[in-house]
Amino acid sequence: MLTRCGDDLFSIDAASPREAHALALRLREAGEWLEVVAGIDTVILRFDAARQDALDASRVIRSAIAADLDTTERPGKRIEIPVVYGGDFGPDLDELSEVTGMAVADLIEKHTSRDYEVEMVGFTPGFAFIGGLDECFRMPRRKEPRQQVAAGSVGIADGRTGLYAMASPGGWNIIGRTPCKLFDAAAEEPFALAVGMRVRFKAIDADEYEP
């Protein structure tokens, strides 16, 4: 569905993160847009309202999305992320254990037992939304967000893992923290994670934490 959501904005619904990114790629190739941003299940497109009529823009968009999209799964680069779970590094892990009735050790084993896919990067620079969590981790976000969450924190909410690349406020349930630097503005490639990459978490001890 194509929806006008501002003077120079359109929103396009997508069935999945993979479809959203395939659609964003198609749209970037189809026109000279000011911005095309893929989300989890939407694409936001901003056109130059000073140069292009909204009706003309919508015609170009509809033509671009009418054809079949290539959503073939292509395994992306795989990265292993070490995580210290629980304690001061993961203050919400014990609560998750109480809610699920699972031992902390079993939860850690579950979280580190499979590969996940990065579905979106946004919210703050480098923040990664990672899909594919086991149902036992399906918890809502905290009712009262923390004013400050440390960089490297590993959170869970609504069936996803969220990685805080930089310190910021946040409402995800924090189960651990990685020493990996996920965002470096001075680096040639500032983001450690990108859409489509495969992520595997690895449990480490607190004395191995070296940021």
**Domain CATH for 94:** 2.40.100.10
Burial class (CB in 10 A: 0-12, 13-18, 19+), 124: middle
pLDDT at 41: 82
**How many domains are contained in the chain?**
2
Going by pLDDT thresholds of 50, 70 and 90, the confidence category of residue 2 is confident
Candidates 31, 40, 3, 207; CA nearest to 128 is: 40
Q: Are residues 35 and 88 in the same domain?
A: no
Domain that holds residue 157: 78-208
* Interatomic CA distance for residues 2 and 42, integer angstroms: 10
* Interatomic CA distance for residues 149 and 205, integer angstroms: 20
Contact (Cβ atoms closer than 8 angstroms) between residue 137 and residue 179: no
* Interatomic CA distance for residues 56 and 72, integer angstroms: 30
**Domain CATH for 16:** 3.30.1360.40
Going by pLDDT thresholds of 50, 70 and 90, the confidence category of residue 32 is confident
Over residues 68-123, the pLDDT tens digits come to 666 555 556 899 999 999 999 999 999 999 999 999 999 999 999 999 999 888 88
Residue 152 domain flag = yes
Residue 96 domain flag = yes
Q: Are residues 32 and 106 in the same domain?
A: no
Over residues 124-164, the pLDDT tens digits come to 888 999 998 988 888 899 999 999 999 999 999 988 999 99
Q: Are residues 21 and 108 in the same domain?
A: no
E strand map for the chain: 2-6, 9-13, 35-38, 42-46, 78-85, 116-121, 128-131, 146-149, 153-157, 160-163, 168-170, 173-177, 198-203
pLDDT at 169: 95
pTM above 0.75, yes or no: yes
Q: Are residues 118 and 181 in the same domain?
A: yes
E strand map for 14-127: 35-38, 42-46, 78-85, 116-121
